[in-house]
Amino acid sequence: MKNRTYINNSSDTANGDKKHGMDRRGFIKTAITAGAVLTVGPAMNNMIAAETAASNTVNSGIGNKYERLALKRRLGSGMAAFDVSAIGLGLMGMTYNRSEHPDKKHCVRLIHEAVERGVTLFDTAIVYGPLNNELLAGEALKPFKGKVNVTTKFGHEIINGKATGRQDSRPATIRKYCEESLRRLQVDCISLFYQHRFDPNVSVEDVAGTIQDLIKEGKVLHWGMCEVSADTIRKANAVCPLTAIQSEYHLMHRLVEYNGVLNVCRELGIGFVPYSPLNRGFLGGCINEYTQFDINNDNRQTLPRFTHEAIRANTRIVNVLQHFGRTRGMTSSQVALGWLLNKEPWIVPIPGTTKLSHLEENLRTIEFEVNDAEWNKLEETVAEIPVTGERYNAEQQRQVGF
Ligand X SMILES: NC(=O)c1ccc[n+]([C@@H]2O[C@H](COP(=O)([O-])OP(=O)(O)OC[C@H]3O[C@@H](n4cnc5c(N)ncnc54)[C@H](OP(=O)(O)O)[C@@H]3O)[C@@H](O)[C@H]2O)c1
User: Any idea which residues carry the catalytic annotation?
Assistant: 128
Number of neighbours of residue 125 by Cβ within 10 angstroms: 26
SS3 of 158, please? Answer: strand
Please pick, from the candidates 277, 325, 338, 345, the single residue that binds ligand X as defined by CB under 6 A.
277
Please pick, from the candidates 62, 92, 190, 265, the single residue that binds ligand X as defined by CB under 6 A.
92
The answer to whether the beta carbons of residues 99 and 293 sit under 8 Å apart is: yes
Q: Stretches 271-279, 301-309, 363-371, 373-381: which one binds ligand X (CB under 6 A)?
A: 271-279
Please pick, from the candidates 38, 159, 286, 383, the single residue that binds ligand X as defined by CB under 6 A.
286
**CA separation for the pair 72, 43 (Å, rounded):** 18
Q: Distances from the Cα of 24 to the Cαs of 265, 270, 345, in angstroms? A: 12, 9, 11
Q: Stretches 108-116, 137-145, 346-354, 377-385: which one binds ligand X (CB under 6 A)?
A: 346-354
Instruction: Please identify, using beta-carbon distances, which residue of 101 and 316 lies nearer to ligand X.
Output: 101
**CA separation for the pair 346, 363 (Å, rounded):** 17
355 counts as binding ligand X under rule CB under 6 A: yes
Binding mask 99-128 for ligand X (x = CB under 6 A): ------------------------x-----
| In the complex, least distance from residue 343 CB atom to ligand X, rounded to whole angstroms | 16
**Burial profile 273-301: b = 16 or more Cβ within 10 angstroms, e = fewer:** bbbbbbbbbbbbbebeeebebeeeebebe
Q: Which of residues 360-389 bind ligand X (CB under 6 A)?
A: 361-362
342 counts as binding ligand X under rule CB under 6 A: no
276 counts as binding ligand X under rule CB under 6 A: yes
Q: Which of residues 192-251 bind ligand X (CB under 6 A)?
A: 196, 226, 246
- DSSP line for 61-90: TS----GGGG-EEEES-GGG-EEEESS-EE
Instruction: Please identify, using beta-carbon distances, which residue of 36 and 305 lies nearer to ligand X.
Output: 305
> Judging by beta carbons within 10 Å of its beta carbon (0-12, 13-18, 19+), is residue 54 exposed, middle or buried?
buried
Q: Which of 163, 167, 232 is nearest to 197 (CA)?
A: 167
354 counts as binding ligand X under rule CB under 6 A: yes
152 counts as binding ligand X under rule CB under 6 A: no
CB-facing half-sphere around the CA of 154: CA atoms within 13 A: 25
Q: Stretches 21-29, 58-66, 162-170, 277-285: which one binds ligand X (CB under 6 A)?
A: 277-285
**CA separation for the pair 248, 277 (Å, rounded):** 7
Which residues contact ligand X by CB under 6 A? 90-93, 98, 123, 196, 226, 246, 275-281, 284, 286, 333, 350-355, 358, 361-362
